């Protein structure tokens, strides 16, 4: 293992990989069972794509967190 500027390089006899820490915005959106606003916005989007508006009602009740949710989704993509 060798430290790098943005992570840790792991060299084995079969591979050469870099281990990096995930950005917090990515974790907020994509971690399973996350209740962060970004995760709720992404779940509402997926629900909308499947024509199931249940998640949309949850999102509408928390309008004050919407700016943070949009910011997390933009940074994670």
3-state secondary structure the chain: CEECCCCEEEECCCCEEEECCCCHHHHHHHCCCCCCHHHHHHHHHHHHHCCCCHHHHHHHCCHHHHHHHHHHHHHHC
Q: Which pTM was predicted?
A: 0.67
CB 72 within 8 A of CB 27: no
| Residue ranges, the chain, pLDDT below 70 | 53-58
| 7-18 pLDDT, tens digit each | 899 999 999 998
């Amino acid at each position: 293992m060798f430290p790098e500027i943005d992570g840790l390089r792991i060299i084995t006899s079969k591979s050469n990989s870099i281990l990096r820490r995930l950005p917090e915005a990515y974790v907020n959106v994509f971690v399973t069972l996350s209740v962060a606003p970004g995760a709720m916005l992404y779940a509402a989007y997926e629900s909308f794509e499947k024509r199931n508006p249940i998640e949309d009602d949850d999102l509408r009740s928390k309008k004050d967190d919407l700016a943070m949710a949009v910011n997390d989704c933009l940074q994670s993509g």
